[in-house]
Structure 1
Amino acid sequence: MFLKIAQEAEVNRQVILDVELNDADIEPYLNLSYKSVAAEAKIPGFRPGMAPRSVVERYFGKEHLIRRSFNQLIPEITDKVVNEQGLNLSATPRVEVLEILPVKIKLTVPLEPQVEIGDYSKIRIDQANVNVTASEVNERIEGFRTSLGSWEPVDDRNVRLKDMVTIDVIGYVDNEKLIDQKNVTLVADEGQGTPFKGFATNLVGISINSQKDFDIQVEDDLADDKIKGKLIKFSVTVHEIKEQNLPKVDDEFAKSAGDGYDSLSSMKKSIRQEIVQNKKDQSDKEYTDQVLDQFDQLLTIELPPLLIDYEIDNLVSQRNNMANQLNMSPDDYLKMSGKTQEEVDLETRSSAIQRLRHSYGLEKLASNLKIDVTPKEIDEKIREILEFQKQRGSTEQSYDDMISNDVYRSSVEQSIKTSKSLEKLVLIAKGESKPAIKSNKKPTRKSDQKPKKPTSKSIKKD
């Protein structure tokens, strides 16, 4: 048998392989395809599954059987070709079927990026101190106070800001009634979910059972095309006004807050600690991002275009999933961002490249630092992943399946190594750790082809 493979020169860490299969190569797949087609086909004179292959092939055509075999043929032939050429892949090759008879396919193979790192031992960044003011604590307490306040009807005054009102509202856009709602209850506060900017302010001064007409110019960046940038003419009738009675801030108030506080003093202390921790977490995240930015400047990486495309697809999928969780279409989600499709595409591509650079850079750093991961660490990480999936309602994988899957364990191991290398890098930036620098100065480039493999463009199969 002869499997003909023509490999083009490497460009941008990618190689193109033109592969031609002969009858002997495709025979096992054709036979499987025949059995599948024969079992379900209705051919005159034959019971299902009983028609000879020659009859099935004449009836449906050889090309049809070949196409039916592609789901199995293409991945297996691709793996065989890649192994024959000894290529070190960074992602799944892209396959294009050029011809059916004979079968000719084109493989675009993304190779592992070549990574070089500069002297990361000199990265130094000062981290800002975290401070919490009394006003921040009091603002949080005021939030508790508001949540515990009771709403009481008032009938001796007009609407004020912060009142809860029950209203009928009608809205016209270009003489078309687009809003007509009755007995709507809302808080007259511009920051608490009133439908349009300025709506709450226009409610001020209306008395019970009175009507007020007013206009609002809608912002241009609103998602709804029917009303964005338009003038809405409102007619509002107030049916009820309620004001909030807020509790006194004392020890009894703290005890009623429901978080186990025994005094106002302990409440303030706990809130302060919580704010400090939140600020510390945010500060650590921002600091890590700064370290990664400096680390990125030390990286020399050539990324295969196909690998970048795959990462872009991954980010787009994540964005679409987020839109789905918000019960929005991808187009509406895009409009909500206030950006054009071109702007989003450029940002997505930039993010994809940055993520890949950081990932491969940290993977190389882990190798330089000789970071090890124990089987126990991998097992614990898999349990953590499984628990997270269960919390999100996913139960497709069992612990036994995940822990026994060598490919999955290898992926988890690499993820842990990457996390450890980032932690080490952060310590270096803080001056708390001294790295052992491993030279990355232009080593003799290793071939992406494994030794003792034939390199001719036509490879004979046994």
Structure 2
Amino acid sequence: MSVKSCEKMEKSQVALTIEVGAPEFEAAIEKAYQKMRKKINVPGFRPGKAPRKIIEGMYGAEVFFEEAINIAFPDAYEAAVQEEKLQVVGYPQVEMVGECTKDGFTFKAVAPVYPEVTLGQYKGLSAPKDEVKVSAADVDERLKVLSDRNTRLVSVEREAKEGDTAVIDFEGFLDGKPFEGGKGENHSLELGSHSFVPGFEEQVVGMKAGDEKDIDITFPEDYHKDLAGKAVVFKVKVHEVKEKEVPTMDDEFAKDVSEFDTLKDLKADLKKKITEERQKAADQAFEDALMEQVAAGITAEVPDAMVENQAHQFVDNFKMQIAQNGIPFDQYMKMTGMDESKLLEDAKEPAQRQVRLDLAVAAIIKAENVEVSDEDVEKEFQSMADQYGMELDMVKKYLQPAQVKDQLITRKAVAIVVDSATATKPEKKAAKKDEEAGEKKPAKKSAKKAATAESGEEKPAKKPAAKKTKKADEESVESK
């Protein structure tokens, strides 16, 4: 093998012209013969026993050339890449140059390579950073979560009301005939949860244990096509009515749900935890905003292959998340009306940002000569073992030292940016009236969070559930 030329092209691509000589090609032809001979019928010879020269005499010397080229190409290409010290980031586009003979062949491979990166400003940047505040209302909300977890359902001998749970049997009938999926037994239904078809729960309100009732329902027009807009009858029987028994918020409650003896101490601990959570989120958002600036400031011809590879990685990660939730990916695609090509297309923009971020971090590591010692790696292993309550050997079983080292180096590079930066006060989010036009200015769209360089992935955004806002209570937390 010999490299005839190596030319740089636009968008961080390199064109290699590679010649495979007679010795290498002869070896490849022999391998092709050994692979193909069992599939070639030659009169007078058992399958696979015909000599190579007999086969070549019958079908021509070129009979093994195509397979031999496929065999010789990978080794020749890899050797050329190593000889030219190229950092290839994708598959090459290959074309033959001239004719292939017994003396060999020449091919041209155009391959995407790691781009040259010029850093912009990465020190002395500034970005908004939220001031962390925790109100009494925030702590009360967290207490309510604990209260809900410890709320019991107890049977009551009265009519059901909204907020109760009714244990029911039900069966739905369309035109007097039961329909598929319309039957349930001993089903616990929380009245007011809106988990059943509209109008159903409201008609269970007022029933008590032992009552039976026919409930008339008309399915919504956007319901399942077989039932959309149809009027049906549900036969319902109530077995039991249960109400919530909410625990009293006092010292006994604190003892039951925590390691603290008083409600005051529990509140103080909750405030501390909320503060830590919000501080961590504010720090991460500040870091993300800075690194977005650094990534946007680099100069590099990013090859399409890097973006496409990252987009595929995002989609693969998304598939794993769906699988972990117990939903077959094909089924999820049908439910959402999506297809994989659309997912890939949607992933291109975040993939572009992620690639630029990775390039920026790598450039900082090189510029600052960032390194970590074996001792630092060992300390990180121990820290992870302590954090997750695992044996040190078990952590090392799942993580390689090289992985941990890369994470630490990345962390150090990002710290160079963050430690030299200035935090500014965030702009007020409320839209202000334009005095001249008399119109509200459109709220500025926030940038999507960049995936961290450590994880290399970005999870698809989930549609947030609608929440009722509460007026913030900025008073300090006081014990009851």
**CA offsets 1:281-305 (integer angstroms, 9 cap, x no match):** 2222222221122223322221011
Q: TM-score of the superposition, structure 1-length normalised?
A: 0.72
Task: Give the alignment of 1:290-329 within 5 angstroms.
Answer: 290-329=289-328
Q: Residue 372 of structure 1 aligns to a residue in which SS?
A: coil
CA distance in 2, matches of 1:318, 1:115: 27
1:150 is aligned to 152
Kindly indicate whether residue 221 of structure 2 is the aligned counterpart of residue 209 of structure 1.
no
CA distance in 2, matches of 1:55, 1:387: 70
8 Å Cα contact 1:4-1:21 kept in structure 2: no
Unaligned runs of 5+ in 2: 425-480
8 Å Cα contact 1:261-1:267 kept in structure 2: yes
CA distance in 2, matches of 1:151, 1:399: 43
8 Å Cα contact 2:163-2:243 kept in structure 1: no
Q: Residue 282 of structure 1 aligns to a residue in which SS?
A: helix
Q: Residue 126 of structure 2 aligns to a residue in which SS?
A: coil
1:246 is aligned to 246
CA distance in 2, matches of 1:31, 1:76: 15
Shift of 1:53: 5.1
- The aligned amino acid for 1:136 is D
CA distance in 2, matches of 1:23, 1:115: 40
Q: Residue 112 of structure 1 aligns to a residue in which SS?
A: coil
Coordinate RMSD, CA, aligned? 4.5
Question: Which structure is higher in RCO with an 8 Å CA cutoff and minimum separation 6?
Answer: 1
1:421 is aligned to 413
- The aligned amino acid for 1:371 is V
Residue identity (%): 19
Task: Give the alignment of 1:375-454 within 5 angstroms.
Answer: 375-378=374-377, 402-403=400-401, 409=402, 413-430=405-422
Shift of 1:201: 4.9
**CA offsets 1:194-239 (integer angstroms, 9 cap, x no match):** 256776556434443223222343768xxxx757987785626142
Q: Residue 136 of structure 1 aligns to a residue in which SS?
A: helix
Which residue of the other structure, out of 86, 109, 112, is the alignment partner of 2:111? 109
CA distance in 2, matches of 1:95, 1:385: 43
Q: Residue 121 of structure 1 aligns to a residue in which SS?
A: coil
8 Å Cα contact 1:34-1:56 kept in structure 2: no
CA distance in 1, matches of 2:227, 2:365: 51
Aligned length: 411
Kindly indicate whether residue 269 of structure 2 is the aligned counterpart of residue 277 of structure 1.
no
Unaligned runs of 5+ in 1: 404-408, 433-462
Q: TM-score of the superposition, structure 2-length normalised?
A: 0.69
1:459 is aligned to none
CA distance in 2, matches of 1:424, 1:296: 14
8 Å Cα contact 1:323-1:329 kept in structure 2: yes
8 Å Cα contact 2:166-2:188 kept in structure 1: yes
Q: Relative to 1, partners in 2 of residues 1:307 and 1:77: Cα closer, same or farther, differing over 3 Å?
A: same
Shift of 1:142: 2.2
8 Å Cα contact 1:372-1:417 kept in structure 2: yes
8 Å Cα contact 2:218-2:231 kept in structure 1: yes
1:368 is aligned to 367
Shift of 1:160: 1.9
Task: Give the alignment of 1:38-49 within 5 angstroms.
Answer: none
Q: Residue 10 of structure 2 aligns to a residue in which SS?
A: coil
**CA offsets 1:112-143 (integer angstroms, 9 cap, x no match):** 21222223333112421112222222222222
Q: Residue 212 of structure 2 aligns to a residue in which SS?
A: coil
- The aligned amino acid for 2:89 is A
**CA offsets 1:98-124 (integer angstroms, 9 cap, x no match):** 599566655332222122222333311
Using the TM superposition, name which of 294-303 and 97-106 deviates more.
97-106
**CA offsets 1:361-416 (integer angstroms, 9 cap, x no match):** 1111222223222133345667889999999xxx9x9579x45xxxxx3x754443
1:194 is aligned to 195
1:353 is aligned to 352
Q: Relative to 1, partners in 2 of residues 1:83 and 1:390: Cα closer, same or farther, differing over 3 Å?
A: farther
CA distance in 2, matches of 1:232, 1:14: 65
Q: Relative to 1, partners in 2 of residues 1:14 and 1:374: Cα closer, same or farther, differing over 3 Å?
A: same
Q: Residue 129 of structure 1 aligns to a residue in which SS?
A: coil
CA distance in 2, matches of 1:68, 1:399: 41
CA distance in 1, matches of 2:411, 2:125: 18
Kindly indicate whether residue 81 of structure 2 is the aligned counterpart of residue 79 of structure 1.
no
CA distance in 2, matches of 1:382, 1:229: 57
Using the TM superposition, name which of 306-315 and 358-367 deviates more.
306-315
